[in-house]
Chains A and B, each alone.
Chain A
Amino acid sequence: MRLRPLALAAALLLPMPAYGAAPVALEKANDPETARLRSQVERLRAERDLASGKGFYLRLDASRYRLALMLEGVALDDYAASAVEWGVPEVLFVNRHPGADWDTRAFSKGRLEPPRERDRVELVAPPPVVVAPGAPTPEPSPPPIPKSAEESYSVPSPYRIEFAEGVSLEVRAKGDARRNRSLFQRFGDALGLRLSDLGTAVGLGARERVRLRVTLEAEDAASLYRSLPPDVGLVVTGLPES
């Protein structure tokens, strides 16, 4: 019977250290160092998942200003950027923040905007000709030589790679990409771009949450546009915490 009050007191006192310890543990788990490590690990997991798949992906390293085309963890082509930015839609001076750790996941199904159309040459084979023994073999007419990539595709600047998760990568060409545009055409380009930005910011067309923007040398921007495989993925590293 004497034990009952003691047991009651013990039952009341026992949870106290636990209640006192819980906020400390929570605070430690959320300290900046741990949070940063957690983000880095999440990002690396996303990259490992992409590298374990069979699909091509882009890796934007914002801390080194590099954009690489990757397959199974191997950089197939690597471009140096002269500027790396990221933006969010703003309506009436109010930002639509994409949420914390938006960049710790991988993005998928990237497609070019404007799309790259491939113009294929079609040949209909002539009916087979049976040559009599001893007769001269007729020379077949040589097939037309297909156009090279440079001849086939004109490259817009800027262009975008839009991913299914509402993230896009805008690629701008540095320097002489607009050298052959007149002043009037440049004004038209700028106006068109501004209107397009307005439309996407207010949510017209494809829903974009975040837009990454890289500026590449004109030759690199063109090379990426011409050779980008379909349904490319994206992983972003090295962005400063917002």
Chain B
Amino acid sequence: MSAEPPPERGPAAPAPAGRAARVAARVVGVGRDLVGRRRVQVASGAVLLLLLALAGTGWDYREAPPPGEDLSVSPPARPSTREAARLLAERQRLETTLRRKVPRGPWIVIDQTHNRFRLMRGDDTLLEAPCSAGSGMVLKEGTGGRVWVFDTPRGRFEVLSKLANPVWRKPDWAFVEEGEPIPKDPGDRLEYGSLGEYALYFGNGYMIHGTLYERLLGRPVSHGCVRLGRDPLREVYRQAPVGTPVYIY
């Protein structure tokens, strides 16, 4: 009886699950080898420490409670100690002092960066209009060496005088800018109509006045004065007496 040899088989293709398991085992082995190396351990430890240090370094912010949820309560009307009573009285005095800083009558605010003009009374805005503040240009005299900077000054001023139908006494720069000789006769410096109907003088040669170039209102084109449109200027002239504070920023 002859036994038949078993049929020859080619190399069996490994099952997909078995191959994945072998790959995974190899990766784990490589990982173990790496983790087992001291240098890798030190490096990964250092990286972890660095990440931890970075996480704990920076700025620690706290948020203020939203308005209406203010947790700081006002002290009671009857303070418990003499010191508290003294402090409460001083607090009230200081608050009154600060409140009184706001003008009682009309006041003017000029934002020269955005060329905005506001006439205020207390916290109310009576009028808001575009204006033209100083251009910030630098004018250099070709021959004399003089230099002018056309800025509007910042700070607190007061209306010192008011004029209807103002006449402009042109300063030297107005002639230099236009390439005209500076006149010897003071009468040749006078120019009528270019300042509009009214002018409110607030010191150092600066005024709030009208303009022939209303289309440029809202842009910084003046030589330092504040130009205002005709209708707002009339209203300001009517409502702002001499002594009105002018705040320019």
Query: In this assembly, does A229 line the interface, its C-beta being within 8 Å of a C-beta of chain B?
Result: yes
Q: Is the CB of A123 within 8 A of B249?
A: no
**Residue B17, interface by CB 8 Å:** no
Q: Is A48 an interface residue (CB 8 A)?
A: yes
Distance, CA A88 to CA B182, complexed state (A): 61
Select the stretch in B3-11, B31-39, B132-140, B188-196 that faces chain A.
B132-140
Within 8 A of B (CB), among A112-167: 118, 120-130, 138, 140, 143, 145-146, 148-149
Closest to A28 in B: B81
Of residues 58 through 88 on chain B, the ones whose CB sits less than 8 Å from some CB of chain A are 58-67, 70-72, 75-76, 79-81, 83-84, 87-88
Q: Quick check: is B168 within 8 A (CB to CB) of the other chain?
A: no
Contact of B64 among A47, A63, A74, A126 (CB under 8 A): A63
A40 to B94 CA separation, bound complex (whole angstroms): 10
A125 to B139, CA, bound (A): 7
Check: B57 CB closer than 8 A to any chain A CB.
yes
> Does B143 count as interface, using CB distance less than 8 angstroms?
yes
Residue B219 lies at the interface, judged by CB distance under 8 Å to chain A = yes
Judge whether A194 and B64 touch: CB under 8 Å.
no
In the assembled complex, A19 has its CB within 8 A of some CB on chain B: no
Which residues of A lie under 8 Å from residue B138 when comparing CB positions? 120-123
B67 & A123 in contact (Cβ 8 Å cutoff): no
B21 at the interface (CB under 8 A from A): no
Contact bitstring A218-237, B, C-beta under 8 A = 1, else 0: 00000100110100000000
Partner of B107, one of A74, A89, A121: A74
Shortest C-beta distance, A231 to chain B (Å), equals: 11
Chain B, Cβ-Cβ closest to A47: B98
Q: Which residue of A lies closest to B70 (CB)?
A: A63
Interface-facing stretch out of B159-167, B173-181, B199-207, B232-240? B173-181
On whether the beta carbons of B75 and A73 are closer than 8 Å, the reply is no
B61, A87: Cβ atoms closer than 8 Å: yes
In this assembly, does A92 line the interface, its C-beta being within 8 Å of a C-beta of chain B?
yes
Closest to A127 in B: B142
Question: Is the CB–CB distance between A85 and B62 below 8 Å?
Answer: yes
Task: Tally B residues with Cβ within 8 Å of A.
Answer: 71
- Measured between beta carbons, the chain B residues less than 8 angstroms from A74 are 101-103, 107, 245, 247
A192 at the interface (CB under 8 A from B): no
Min distance, Cβ A45 to any Cβ of chain B, angstroms: 7
In the complex, how many angstroms separate the beta carbon of A199 from the nearest chain B beta carbon?
A: 10
Q: Which residues of A contact B177 (CB under 8 A)?
A: 123, 125, 140, 143
Report chain B residues within 8 Å CB of A37.
Answer: 75, 79, 84, 87-88, 91
Beta-carbon contact of B60 and A65 below 8 Å: no
Contact B137 A122 (CB under 8 A): yes
A193-221 residues at the B interface, CB under 8 angstroms: 194, 197-198, 200-202, 211, 213
Chain A residues positioned under 8 Å from B79 (CB to CB): 33-34, 37
Shortest distance from the beta carbon of B224 to any chain A beta carbon, whole Å: 13
Q: Does A44 contact B (CB under 8 A)?
A: yes
A72 located at the interface, meaning its Cβ lies under 8 Å from any Cβ of chain B in the complex: yes
Can you name 27 A-B residue pairings with CB atoms under 8 Å?
A28-B83, A31-B80, A33-B75, A40-B87, A48-B97, A54-B156, A63-B70, A71-B156, A72-B156, A76-B109, A84-B63, A88-B59, A93-B56, A121-B135, A123-B140, A125-B176, A128-B176, A128-B179, A129-B179, A145-B216, A148-B218, A148-B219, A200-B59, A201-B59, A213-B61, A238-B64, A240-B64
Please name the 3 residue pairs, one residue from A and one from B, whose CB atoms are nearest each other, closest first. Answer: A73-B101, A93-B56, A87-B61
